[in-house]
Structure 1
Amino acid sequence: MYRFLLTPRWWAINVFVALAVPVCLFMGSWQLSRFEDRVDSHTAQQDLADQAAYEDAVPLAGLLPVDKETSGRMASATGRYDPGNQLLVPDRELDGKRGFYVLTPLRTAGPSDALPVVRGWLPGTPDPAAVPPPPTGEVTVTGALQASESGGTTGLPTGQLGTISAAALVNLVPYDVYDAWITVQDTTAPLKPVPPAAPKGSGLDMKAFQNLGYTAEWFVFAGFVLFMWFRLFRREVELVKDAELGLTPEDSGGPATAGRTPAPAPPA
């Protein structure tokens, strides 16, 4: 009855199914592993942020370059604030409110001339008059280390910065800056501390849930391939049984009779 499975047509069908199902399962498992990696990375980053509040600060040089392991760690740097090149970073949210960061370069004696320091956040639109002055003289600043942001800075008024990165600062300050920045956690009023952000690609963002959606899609594809194979197999078995009984597709109401108008019965 199942000799049709040895025909070239069914060989092709079976080979396709034998290849398609494992590929779909592999891709689904891979997308699931991507999602799990993001969950683990997100959890590790939260744990690191919690630990940062209790650990001693590490000199900045020991944490560079910034990666997923060092992002959020407490770093320290010594130097003098440069209020003449202070910048405001608009459209930043904190506790559900929109405001701006206050970024003041800290002139250091390291490989680069200055470290971007976010001294805090203020609500509303950027207003230099509302920003308290930075400490004077040589200071040691401690804050959560952050990687440079991506994106550009265009169309902003003088004294404002769209993204915090060395590439964005190169045309705004007259010296080299580190390709990293820190956010001070012990601020003075009215400034509010900016919590460290998770490094790019480690949080539970929309892309992470896309991986979960792709996982479901690949598993559904595998199930659909098996379902269609079973339907074709069952249909073929029925045709074989009909042939053994001497029935034609017309007799069994198969495709050959689909759409035809039944012939009128002969007169009695």
Structure 2
Amino acid sequence: MLALAIAAGFALLGQWQLDRAISSGEVVERSTEIVQPLSDTVSPDGPPPKVAEGQMIETTGSYVPGDEQIISGRHNGGETGFWVVSHFVTDEGFSIPVARGWTADADEAEAIRERLATQMSILSLQPLTGRFLSSEAPVLPEDGADPHTMTTVSTAALINLWANWSDQPVYQGYIVDSVAPEGLAVIDSPEPEVEVPLNWLNIFYALEWAVFAGFAVFLWYRLVRDAWEREVEEAEIAAAAAAETSAGSPDETSGPAGADRSHANAP
């Protein structure tokens, strides 16, 4: 019974670890579609918090003319094309890249980039609403491709191309504009999917406790079986001894006493 009690304890510990794994993986609902101020969501010159990823934000500032870049290999509605990305400076003086829109044609993307560079003025403040996304890692162009080709929105790479940037604070991310300039399509930017992380360490511990509980049950089974086999063996030995004793005892009609009774009864 002690082994069964230990097995029950191991099973309870395994259940507790499993509950911990599930509770630690519970989804924290985020209102990513409720527009929040950029300054309240993320701070410049530092990694953005996880809660900022995919958050709809708003800010006010101006575009820096001439800092537009084209990002190739971007998908939109199942097609591959190009993003036009601009340099935006908030009214607080912090820089952040903004993905303005998408087009499937490289020449059109280049023409729109040149048009935006001449139309925008750094002195005109304007509101900006879009979805904040973390900066992407820079990727080297493929062999034989234009060395200036960019395929990711990397803040670290873009600041090296901005003409008048000189170590001002920069957000480690970019904004996908919710509207697009004329000639560009609005970039697909769906609500981020919620992932449910699992605590694999707790799951591993739960499996360990299950193994321990199984071993305790096996130990109980072996102890019970050994005790039963001993009882059966002892019973067989006792039965054999009783049979030998019964077979070796003298018959009531045999031996000297029996002979005397026979003579006494003779005529």
Give the TM-score normalised by structure 1: 0.62
CA contact (8 A) 1:79 1:139 kept: yes
Which structure 1 residue ranges, 5 or more long, are not aligned? Answer: 249-268
For 1:127 and 1:158, the matched residues in 2 are separated by: 20
For 1:124 and 1:240, the matched residues in 2 are separated by: 84
Q: Are positions 1:64 and 2:45 aligned together? A: no
Structure-to-structure mapping, 1:1-268, within 5 angstroms:
21=11, 24-37=14-27, 40-41=28-29, 44=30, 47-49=31-33, 51-52=34-35, 58=37, 60-65=38-43, 66-71=48-53, 72-82=55-65, 84-108=66-90, 110-112=92-94, 114-123=95-104, 128-129=109-110, 131=112, 133-134=115-116, 135-137=119-121, 138-155=124-141, 157-174=146-163, 175=165, 176=168, 177-196=170-189, 203-204=194-195, 208=196, 211=198, 219=206, 221-246=208-233
Report the alpha carbon displacement of residue 18 of structure 1 after superposing the two structures with TM: 7.6
Q: Deviations over 1:70-128 (max 9, x none)?
A: 5523312222332x32122233323333333221112455343x331110122366864
Structure having the higher Rg? 2
3-state SS of 1:99 partner: strand
For 1:24 and 1:167, the matched residues in 2 are separated by: 47
Letter in 2 for 1:184: D
- Number of residue pairs matched by the alignment: 218
Report the alpha carbon displacement of residue 185 of structure 1 after superposing the two structures with TM: 0.8
Which structure 2 residue ranges, 5 or more long, are not aligned? Answer: 236-267
For 1:147 and 1:61, the matched residues in 2 are separated by: 14
Residues 115 and 215 of structure 1, relative CA distance in 2, 3 Å threshold: same
For 1:30 and 1:245, the matched residues in 2 are separated by: 47
Report the alpha carbon displacement of residue 64 of structure 1 after superposing the two structures with TM: 3.4
For 2:82 and 2:134, the matched residues in 1 are separated by: 17
C-alpha RMSD over aligned residues: 3.9
The higher-RCO structure (CA 8 Å, 6+ apart) is: 2
3-state SS of 1:115 partner: strand
